[in-house]
Chain A
Amino acid sequence: MIKKPSAILQCEDITVSFDGFKAIQGMGLTLERGELRFLIGPNGAGKTTMLDVICGKTKPSSGKVVYNGVEGAGQIEITRKKEHQIAELGIGRKFQAPSIFPTLTVFENLEIAMRQNRSVWSTLFARMSAPDRERVDAQLSLIGLQEKSSWRAGGLSHGEKQWLEIGIMLMQEPGLLLLDEPVAGMTDKETDKTGELLREIAKSRTVVVVEHDMEFVRNFASKVTVMHEGRLLKEGTMDEVQSDDRVAEVYLGKRRDADVSRSTA
């Protein structure tokens, strides 16, 4: 139904309006399989809203989202699907504020997130098999929380919560990961560790990261998409993006009166 059959995700002409305010206007985004993509842009550019559209939290007023990450299923239009259905298809989302389950232990957080039959009946009689336990343990060591597996997640530090949430997402074995500012509020050391984690994760998956921290983005040699006022402003490598005049304008505030929309057309 859409041109690029190799792409894992294609968003076409997405428009989102909140009470008349257009948060996103005709935005397109195509992700290749296995790609690590950064989504940057000034505040209010519509980056988070774009992730919301992909994971089903926000329904666009027009445009469509097509996902091709389920083996043998081909292209699936997910624009109108419910959040839990999209998650089941393999699209994982990490929110900006760490959202974990504070009264469950770290282990239990990962246990319920594990890819499994999610019907009421099967969770009633689910047992922790040896392979299941290995999966959870492997995840715990990847996110560096083995020692704290029996802690209530609410007692973790901010950085640890962020890693746990990444772990929760990975347990679903998603084909596409959406991360919203994973290093916000982290110390330098935590940021470095998250960077390593991200590199590890991106080896085998398609990942989209919304990020404000330019230093952090520069550490990765990957494609960057710049959004501004709900539109696509520029797409390319970090060098290309940084040398682009329009990007400099929106970031540094030069020529504020410039008609950005015309230049993106």
Chain B
Amino acid sequence: MKSNPWTAARIWTLIGYAAASAALFAAPLYLSDFRLNLLAKFLAFAIVALGLDLIWGYTGILSLGHGVFFGLGGYAMAMYLKLEASGGRMPDFMEWSGLTALPAFWKPFESLGFAFAAGILIPGLLALFLGYVTFRNRIRGVYFTILTQALVIIATTLLIGQQAYTGGTNGVTGYSKIAGYSISNPDTKQMLYWITAAFLIVAFIVCRFLVASRFGKVLRAIRDGENRVRFIGYNPALYQMTAFAISGALAGLAGMLFILHVGIISPSMLGIVPSIEMVLWVAIGGRGTMIGAVLGAVLMNWGKSEISAQYPDAWLFVMGALFVVVVVFLPNGVAGLFSRLTSIKRRVTGHDQEAVRNPAV
């Protein structure tokens, strides 16, 4: 960490990231439309995983409520798409529910710019508010986690109950155009894929910047010992709130991108099970490393779609088994496996960095 930042390891890492980014952007060349669509969905999930890793892996706060932030982003974009598809008329489900005029809070969503901003800011601000009332009062650990579960229940209940305004259980679906382009057109889909990949890369870089900064070191210090952080003069609540808000905003962004590829958002997509699944991606990919979170989200979802295609009922068992294996044998997930392999190599080559990574050995 001293002197020259251009060490060989660092150069190789950068080359690896550059190659991965190139492979992502070239994906339309070697994937069918169907698979490209799946990959686009997984990349959106990877953005949620980044945010979850920031709050859980780095700050040590487990949220089982990220489905809500994801869903808020999804609904914001869905409202825009629905209004665009309805072409100036009221969305169909509102007519069925007997509404006579478009509700005032739907109005601004006629603008894509507004919807996009809202899809990031609303979940971000909700997370900030939730963080403010909990972290400031030193609510943490399981208590915080249970609160996030309660948030999920409140959100799904509200969405289902307010059918006239939210589409109820069916959610919001039936989109046709985005910014004037047909959403089912293969060219548009390809462009949306590229946009998603670009957002993932930007989100990844931002998260890497965050965790490498002194801010990120304070986050890890809070994970290690929140009280000690207090006694060196930091107010941990401010840091936790900031990390949680960024995490929520990333989930919102992911939700927006997600529905562009899926064409529907409904309360079941932000329920308790999806919220827990999101955490599993990070656990299995490796928390505390950004690349682990991305890998976890993409590989788990890829596995899910492959296995479910062959054996529709097997996925839950596979996921459960994977989780057990990771918890028992790979506490740092798949990414931890890689760094363990390289540290074995270092041991063999007698490189003294080994002592740095594993000084207790």
The smallest C-beta distance from A199 to any residue of chain B, in angstroms, reads 24
A155, CB-defined interface residue at 8 Å: yes
B178, CB-defined interface residue at 8 Å: no
Which residue from A93, A104, A107 sits with its C-beta under 8 Å from B224? A104
* Given A87-B232, A172-B232, A112:B221 Cβ within 8 A: yes
Chain A residues within an 8 Å CB radius of B132: none
Q: How many A-B residue pairs have CB under 8 A?
A: 95
B310, CB-defined interface residue at 8 Å: no
Contact with A along B340-361 (1 / 0, CB 8 A): 0000000000000001111110
CA distance A88 to B234 in the complex (A): 8
Contact with B along A145-188 (1 / 0, CB 8 A): 00010111011100000000000110010000000000000000
Which residue from B214, B228, B356 sits with its C-beta under 8 Å from A123? B214
Contact with B along A74-99 (1 / 0, CB 8 A): 00000000111001100011010001
Which residue from A84, A104, A150, A155 sits with its C-beta under 8 Å from B358? A155
* Given A101-B220, A102-B224, A126-B213, A113:B232 Cβ within 8 A: yes
B94, CB-defined interface residue at 8 Å: no
Chain A residues within an 8 Å CB radius of B227: 57, 83, 99
B162, CB-defined interface residue at 8 Å: no
A112 touches B360 (CB 8 A): no
Chain B residues within an 8 Å CB radius of A155: 358-360
B233 touches A100 (CB 8 A): no
A84 touches B228 (CB 8 A): no
CA distance A172 to B230 in the complex (A): 12
B215, CB-defined interface residue at 8 Å: yes
B355 touches A120 (CB 8 A): no
The smallest C-beta distance from A172 to any residue of chain B, in angstroms, reads 6
Interface residues of A in 91-145 (CB under 8 A from B): 92-93, 95, 99-105, 107-109, 111-113, 118-120, 123-126
Chain B residues within an 8 Å CB radius of A150: 1-2, 356
Which residue from A101, A126, A154 sits with its C-beta under 8 Å from B360? A154
Chain B residues within an 8 Å CB radius of A100: 225, 228
Which residue from A99, A102, A120 sits with its C-beta under 8 Å from B239? A120
Chain A residues within an 8 Å CB radius of B234: 84, 112, 118
A120 touches B220 (CB 8 A): no
Chain B residues within an 8 Å CB radius of A31: none
A120 touches B238 (CB 8 A): yes
Chain A residues within an 8 Å CB radius of B215: 120, 123-124, 126
Main secondary structure of the interface of B (DSSP, over half): helix
Chain B: residues with Cβ within 8 Å of the partner, total of 31
B232 touches A104 (CB 8 A): no
A118 touches B233 (CB 8 A): yes
Q: Bin chain A's interface residue count.
A: 35 or more
B214 touches A151 (CB 8 A): no
* Given A101-B228, A126-B214, A152-B356, A107:B1 Cβ within 8 A: yes
Contact with B along A215-236 (1 / 0, CB 8 A): 0000000000000000000000
B359 touches A112 (CB 8 A): no
The smallest C-beta distance from A22 to any residue of chain B, in angstroms, reads 24
Task: Write 22 A-B pairs (CB below 8 A) sorted by A numbering.
Answer: A82-B230, A83-B227, A84-B233, A84-B236, A92-B232, A95-B228, A99-B227, A99-B228, A101-B228, A107-B1, A109-B221, A112-B221, A113-B232, A119-B238, A120-B215, A120-B238, A120-B239, A123-B213, A150-B356, A151-B355, A151-B359, A168-B232
- 5 closest A-B pairs by beta carbon, nearest first, are A155-B359, A87-B233, A101-B224, A126-B214, A83-B230
Given pairs A101-B221, A151-B356, 11 additional interface contacts (CB within 8 A): A84-B233, A99-B227, A100-B228, A103-B223, A123-B214, A123-B215, A124-B213, A124-B215, A150-B2, A155-B360, A169-B232
Residues of B within 8 A of A (CB): 1-2, 210, 213-215, 217-218, 220-221, 223-225, 227-228, 230-236, 238-239, 242, 355-360
